[in-house]
Structure 1
Amino acid sequence: MDRIYGAGLASYPAGVLLRASVYSTNLRAAFSLVCADDGMPYGALSVNVPDADLAEDEILASAAWNLPADLKTVLLGTGKFVQTGRSNQVGLGRGEIWRIADPDLLSQVAAARVVARRSRPVRRAAALA
């Protein structure tokens, strides 16, 4: 995980670490942030809105109330994400739709999807007597 520095971080100057995973309900990409110095949760970069129209390599970035705007600016500045110019309603705010541009992050998400699919219970039709 890359350390990301930004103004106004709770763990400043240590920064935050970006963690990739997937939402269990629909296997969309999910990103959270943890403090780099102590591993404590910092916040969620992505939110899961099931009816949002997203491609496999896109996330719905949390609305401004969830993460400081300067941190989101720093995250975009890493080149790991690209704004698409689209947005979606998230609670009382609007979340921007970002494309995941970093091959390593895309690989982490793909691996998380494989693990999540393997851990899902297999549904089988009951045999009729």
Structure 2
Amino acid sequence: MIRGAPIPETVTLHVPFIIVKRGGRKEMQMPDGAVQPRRTDGTLVKALARAFRWKRMLESGEFTSISELAEREGITVSYLTRLLRMTLLAPDLVGAILDGRQGLEVTLARLMEPFPAEWADQPLAFART
């Protein structure tokens, strides 16, 4: 500003951002290159915990079938099997989710869709939007 220039009544500030859905909520994300605080996605963490808990329950013999477990949990077999698929995620991706470092494209809805079981193929599969 020039010394002695009048102060404008209104100032317009443009901040580029995008709105993404995270766990049923809308969240503002800054553009690539902007510094963003890491925030753990509670919905993804809870889904991972449930998936690994259910896997452990099936492997221990506590439940003899997926349908028996689904009935006990009060959910559909389809939902249980889609969530169980998350136990096939690469360890580095699981760690990224737990630390809040996963990319914007890694959402619960995306993880419930089919993805490659091979860990080396997963980064490319989740890079697409």
TM-score between the two structures when normalised by the length of structure 1: 0.22
Structure (1 or 2) with the greater helix fraction: 2
Structure (1 or 2) with the greater strand fraction: 1
- Whichever of the two has the greater Rg, that structure is 2
